[in-house]
């Protein structure tokens, strides 16, 4: 069934229960008072510090926006982009677009004006909903919007070049429109993360979205009593598809606008969160804050927190072993997925397989996986090849790009571009991105293996390994190392630390610098190559 029917069911069964909570530490009122002081104030000092919404309100807001879109001629076959920071309006707008029959197009909040314009054109959008953080960027391209393009602003003090979402939707019907939506209908266009150049437009249908609800819930067993803490941006498949597991059962979720360790732990405590999905840097920061004494766990109520899971990037085993020492009662899971496979879950470790930390796991619920050579033939267990996956969440195509689609879709199998191997027990280990493999003197080096080793150094906060040109070996491995605050380390210290590695795997060059990551936690290696190899992002895109 289409995913919009779940919202209608939740509104009917749990109408007065809280569906979403937004906590916004960026608001003026949050900066004026601490959380504990906030509790002593009679009445909330601001509607924007902590806001919540019931399932009935969620359903009504989605229906009103759907009806507004239909009055503007936006329905099946049309596309509406969403450019918002995480907020209480985000998901009702998303479901309103789906409920109208149109295709929803979430956009990265870091996009520049040119990138916004590029993606709107690539996806052939008929409308855009944007928030206050993006007024300047949208205004600079507004003159180029095509005739009858719907430019709608969600926030206070609507700019003159847009229409007010709040003012228009409050006069629309709160009943769901009579639009027939099938499982095969186009539902959403997501953009690739852009770590290898300009983003591609990834088209999914309603079957894909619904399958992610089921897969996520099967993996983590969400019930109505769970509370999911959502920190990553909702424009990305990872955050939203993990939320889908809670959405399926009508559980409450908390949208936290902030990644400071103290704020995360405080939110878990105050909102009684039971499930938290983190990115590697955030988990690292939490542990470091605990080690420094900035966070004293005894000050918080954390006994209800049952599951911490990580995805979107390779996870260093040393980090999870460290987490288990601090939080021994936590279940843990690693999730692997791509936007092309509707986010997380096509491969996952499973909470019962903590002894296999380091692996990304086995095929997820409803999924198949195989590891193949360059001819597409399955390789023997233990050998490295490209990971391919098959399941109900595989994308329809790269929108309007049949060449790129044909390069990764073969008989329904999605070739991920990730190099992996399978152990004797059938667990899959991610080795590296196919495009990130370094060939030095004829040997293949997989940067993730070197990065995992270096992260076990107590002085290192983050690390990225890239290939640098070398006239003799073709390429050499260079380690860009970001040290923890207050830690000192020399190149010689790192070289000495790497002596347990086989000689050919040791980095030949050490660079102390900040490791750039995008909002979903992925290392932006093209930017490092541009900085240290002189390769531009455009050249990287052509190579890839």
Whether 370 and 354 have beta carbons less than 8 Å apart is answered as: no
- Write the CB contacts of 178 (distance below 8 Å, at least 6 apart in sequence): none
Predicted confidence (pLDDT) at residue 509 exceeds the cutoff of 50: yes
Among 157-171, 296-310, 361-375, 462-476, where is mean pLDDT lowest?
Answer: 462-476
Helix (H) or strand (E) holding 537: helix 537-543
Which residues are bridge partners to 443 per DSSP? 440
pLDDT, tens digit, 9 for 90 and up, residues 314-356:
677 888 889 999 999 999 998 888 889 987 789 999 999 988 9
pLDDT band at 419 (very low <50, low <70, confident <90, very high): confident
CA dihedral over 239, 241, 242, 247, signed as positive or negative: positive
Cβ atoms of 334 and 315 closer than 8 Å: yes
The conformational region for residue 85 under phi > 0 = left, psi -120 to 50 = alpha, else beta, is beta
What value does the mean pLDDT take over residues 204-225? 96
**pLDDT tens digit string along 123-174?**
999 999 999 999 999 999 999 898 889 999 999 999 999 999 999 999 999 9
pLDDT confidence of residue 534 = 62
Residue 136: partners with Cβ closer than 8 Å, 6 or more residues away: none
Look up residue 110 and give its DSSP letter. T
Tell me what the pLDDT averaged over the chain comes to.
88
Element (H, E) at 36: helix 35-40
Q: Quick one: angle between helices 317-326 and 280-292, nearest 10? A: 40
474-483 confidence digits (pLDDT tens): 788 999 999 9
Tokens, residue 402: 């049949």
Give the pLDDT confidence score for residue 525 in this predicted structure: 81
More confident residue, 371 or 193: 371
| Residue located via tokens 């009579």 | 178
Q: In whole angstroms, give the CA distance from residue 391 to residue 361.
A: 16
Q: What pTM did the predictor assign?
A: 0.81
- Confidence check: pLDDT of 520 > 90: no
What residues contact residue 81 under an 8 Å CB cut-off, 6+ apart?
A: 105, 106, 107, 119, 120, 123, 125, 127, 128, 129
CB under 8 Å to 385, separation ≥6 — which residues?
371, 372, 373, 378, 379, 419, 420, 421
Q: What percent of the chain is predicted at pLDDT more than 90?
A: 66
Residue 213 pLDDT > 80, yes or no? yes
């Amino acid at each position: 069934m289409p995913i919009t029917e779940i919202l209608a069911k939740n509104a009917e069964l749990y109408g007065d229960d809280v569906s979403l909570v937004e906590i916004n530490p960026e608001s003026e009122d949050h900066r004026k008072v601490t959380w504990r002081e906030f509790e002593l104030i009679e009445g909330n000092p601001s509607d924007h510090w902590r806001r919540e919404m019931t399932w009935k309100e969620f359903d009504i807001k989605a229906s009103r926006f759907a009806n507004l879109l239909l009055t503007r001629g936006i329905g099946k076959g049309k596309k509406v982009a969403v450019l918002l920071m995480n907020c209480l309006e985000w998901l009702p707008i998303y479901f309103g677009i789906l409920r109208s029959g149109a295709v929803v197009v979430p956009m990265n909040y870091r996009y520049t004006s040119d990138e916004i314009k590029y993606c709107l054109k690539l996806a052939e959008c008929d409308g855009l909903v944007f928030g206050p953080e993006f007024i300047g960027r949208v205004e600079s391209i507004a003159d180029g919007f095509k005739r009858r393009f719907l430019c709608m602003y969600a926030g206070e003090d609507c700019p003159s070049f847009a229409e007010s979402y709040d003012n228009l939707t409050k006069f629309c019907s709160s009943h769901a429109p009579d639009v027939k939506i099938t499982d095969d209908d186009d539902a959403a266009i997501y953009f690739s993360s852009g770590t290898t150049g300009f983003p591609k437009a990834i088209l999914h249908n309603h079957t894909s979205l619904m399958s992610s609800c089921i897969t996520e819930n099967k993996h983590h067993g969400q019930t109505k009593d769970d509370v999911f803490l959502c920190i990553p941006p909702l424009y990305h498949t990872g955050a939203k598809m993990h939320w889908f597991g809670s959405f399926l059962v009508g559980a409450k979720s908390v949208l936290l606008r902030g990644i400071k360790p103290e704020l995360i732990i405080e939110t878990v405590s105050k909102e009684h969160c039971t499930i938290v999905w983190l990115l590697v840097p955030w988990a690292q920061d939490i542990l470091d804050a605990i080690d420094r004494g900035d966070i004293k766990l005894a000050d918080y109520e954390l006994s209800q927190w049952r599951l911490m899971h990580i995805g979107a990037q390779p996870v260093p085993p040393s980090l999870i072993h460290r987490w288990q020492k601090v939080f021994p009662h936590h279940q843990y899971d690693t999730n692997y997925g791509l936007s092309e496979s509707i986010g997380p879950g096509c491969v996952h470790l499973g909470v019962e397989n903590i002894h296999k930390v380091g692996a990304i796991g086995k095929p997820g619920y409803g999924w198949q996986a195989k590891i193949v050579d360059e001819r597409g033939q399955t390789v023997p267990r233990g050998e490295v090849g490209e990971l391919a996956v098959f399941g109900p969440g595989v994308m329809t195509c790269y929108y309007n790009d049949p060449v790129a689609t044909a390069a990764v879709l073969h008989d329904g199998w999605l070739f991920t571009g990730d190099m992996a191997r399978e152990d004797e027990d059938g667990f899959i280990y991610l080795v590296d991105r196919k495009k990130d493999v370094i060939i030095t003197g004829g040997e293949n080096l997989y940067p993730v293996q070197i990065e995992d080793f270096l992260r076990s150094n107590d002085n290192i906060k983050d690390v990225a390994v890239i290939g640098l040109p070398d006239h003799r070996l073709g390429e050499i491995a260079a380690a860009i190392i970001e040290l923890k605050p207050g830690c000192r380390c020399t190149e010689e210290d790192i070289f000495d630390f790497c002596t347990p590695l086989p000689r050919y795997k040791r980095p030949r060059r050490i660079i102390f610098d900040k490791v750039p990551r995008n909002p979903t936690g992925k290392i932006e290696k093209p930017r490092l190559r541009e900085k240290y190899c002189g390769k531009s992002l455009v050249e990287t895109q052509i190579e890839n």
